[in-house]
Amino acid sequence: MVFPEAELPVIDISVLQSELKEGDPDLQRLCNQVKEAAQQWGAFRVVNHGVEQELLNTVDSVSRGLFSLPPQVKERAVCLPFDGYLKGVGLSSGEAICFPAVLASDSIQQYAQKLWPQGNPEFCDSLRTYSSKLADLTNSLIKLILQDLGVMTILYNDQVAGLEMRSKQGEWFTVKPLAGSFTVIIANALKIWSNDRCWSVEHRVAYEGMEPRLSIGFFWNFLKEKEVRVPEELIDEHYPHRYKPFLFKDYRNARVQEAPLDIFI
């Protein structure tokens, strides 16, 4: 059952665009808002984030152009298990394409050349600029979480509903579209790293409409070859040590196989 009246916290992060010093009341207030949302909801909305609407419109447009390509063209970019074009696998009737290391000098061009043999500079430039902006935004949000204690997804959605999340009480609710906002979702890896201080929200897409629905996710991850372990500062009598150290690449492989988090205990 879905409870549509529930809604995620909406956090105005415009103060991050000012040069505020540690201890500033506005910065501390923002830190507390992010902390509470990460712990109680596992997700939140951010507005006044500094990413220009013109850039969002361009990324939306070039993304829709990508998915409008013929199936045989999109299939040139298949690169399992984590990257490239996907259709049907865990996506119901939808499709997705994942570009790794977008900010690397030639990563996005390599995929673009598979889709457009003559190249597509607008697609590459807009996606790289967008990724750079979201990388800065993600780093700022992680610093806010670290001030009090961290790996998350930043999601752009168009105005077509369909995203649902499960609350801590186990009730599903619909995330209503909010123009100009990003949805920040805490991932399981951050839940583990924070020793369960951050909540990882379960989410899904339930959409049966005819209008195309576009969602663009920016994933911030630990380095795949680095060991992830709970910091000693996050272990106490209220949060006893729960998870053993692991390599992030092993975590990714386990999640692809839909293994439960219990394997890391």
47-65 tens-digit pLDDT: 999 999 999 999 999 999 9
Distance of alpha carbon 39 from alpha carbon 148, whole angstroms: 11
Residue 240 domain-assigned? no
Predicted local distance difference test score (pLDDT) of residue 109: 85
75 token code pair? 């299939």
| Cα pseudo-dihedral 79, 81, 82, 88, rounded to 10 | 90
Specify the 3-state DSSP secondary structure of 215.
Answer: strand
* Structural domain for 2, as ranges: 1-226
pTM score of the predicted model: 0.84
Q: What is the CATH number of the domain that holds 57?
A: 2.60.120.330
Distance of alpha carbon 32 from alpha carbon 63, whole angstroms: 35
Residue 118 domain-assigned? yes
Distance of alpha carbon 193 from alpha carbon 173, whole angstroms: 27
Residue 155 domain-assigned? yes
Residue 239 domain-assigned? no
Predicted local distance difference test score (pLDDT) of residue 80: 64
| Cα 252–Cα 254–Cα 260 angle in degrees, nearest 5 | 120
Residue 234 domain-assigned? no
Predicted local distance difference test score (pLDDT) of residue 84: 81
Reported confidence tier of residue 11, pLDDT bands at 50, 70, 90: very high
Which amino acid, 243? Answer: Y
What is the average per-residue pLDDT within 208-232? Answer: 83
Specify the 3-state DSSP secondary structure of 108.
Answer: helix
Share the mean pLDDT of the chain: 84
What is the per-residue pLDDT across 77-129, written as a single tens digit (0 to 9) for each? 887 666 788 886 555 568 888 887 776 667 788 888 889 988 899 999 999 99
What is the average per-residue pLDDT within 226-241? Answer: 88
Provide the number of structural domains found in the chain. Answer: 1
Residue 145 domain-assigned? yes
* Cβ–Cβ < 8 Å for 77, 85: yes
* Cβ–Cβ < 8 Å for 128, 108: yes
Residue 106 domain-assigned? yes
Residue 259 domain-assigned? no
